[in-house]
Chains A and B, each alone.
Chain A
Amino acid sequence: MRIRCPYCGERALEEFTYRGDATVRRPDSLDPGAAQAWVDYVYLRDNPAGLHKEYWHHSAGCHAWLVVTRNMSTHEIVAVEFAEKGASK
């Protein structure tokens, strides 16, 4: 697998570290009513057999956290962007 890092260009899989589901959004920990939201955020995952947005860290390169849109069945990558702009917003 090769990921086109927006900063470094196309790089080999071994340069990246995987985190997972980038569709989750961190709830407000001061909101007592957020219990279920927290369980979802920490433990529940989208896990489709098709396209999925996920966090990758270019750990051996520019150290940017990326949001990669990738097909989990074919490993085809259709989009890569910096996490700053990424899925969770």
Chain B
Amino acid sequence: MAKRPFHAVSALAGLAVPTRLGEGRGDPGVTIEERVGLGLATVAARKGQAEALKGAVASAYGVELPDGSRVAHGPSISFVGYGPGQWLAVSESLVNETLARDLGQRLRGLASISDQSGGRAVLRVSGPRARAVLAKGLPIDLHPRAFTPGSAATSTISLMGVQLWQVDDAPTYDLAIFRSVSASFWRWLTASAGEFGYEVVGRER
């Protein structure tokens, strides 16, 4: 077997390193953080099992599966609706592959589960200018009258697919992007945030 244990490399390793960049005057308009080690998995309801699945999720994870593109937070897992009968499960406690395994066991026969923990980078973009930055690529209205904590959307940013949901009124948004385009996405994000000044936070990697 392989001599030493595997060292995991996050999607934005070497890019999302703590620093303060862009327009230097005043406080940064946005802060950016890569959320690493999350458990991520897609959950797709089996034909005719939608209701049963809701029940099972409620009892197993204490959270009501959202209808439509919204996010619902449970004690251990958040479920982000991204399509009819489809959710992205996100967990801090059931890290990496363990989430998909857990879902697979508890929802057997009710849903098709696919591990995505390695396939996405999750970025947290927060701060007074977060909306202005995202508006440079996201064709969706994030105005508080249209999009609030709990709202979620699947769309594109600058030709790259994205799933995002609002976390709080700071405002803070979580963005799940595809791992393979992280570098391109990072170029867009930093170019767009430069005008307002931005700070990258998180642990040094």
Contacts and interface: CB of A to CB of B under 8 A. Distances in A.
Q: Do chains A and B touch in the complex (CB under 8 A)?
A: yes
Chain B facing A: main interface SS: strand
Interface string A59-89: 0111110000000000000000010000000
B138 to A, nearest CB: 10
B156 A14 contact: yes
A40 interface: no
A61 B139 contact: no
Interface residues of A, number: 13
A12 interface: yes
Contacts, number: 36
A62 B84 contact: yes
A15 B83 contact: no
Given A14-B139, A60-B161, A62-B69, A7 B155 contact: no
Interface residues of B, number: 13
A44 interface: no
Contacts of A62: 69, 82-84, 86, 154
Interface of B: 68-69, 82-84, 86, 139-140, 153-156, 161
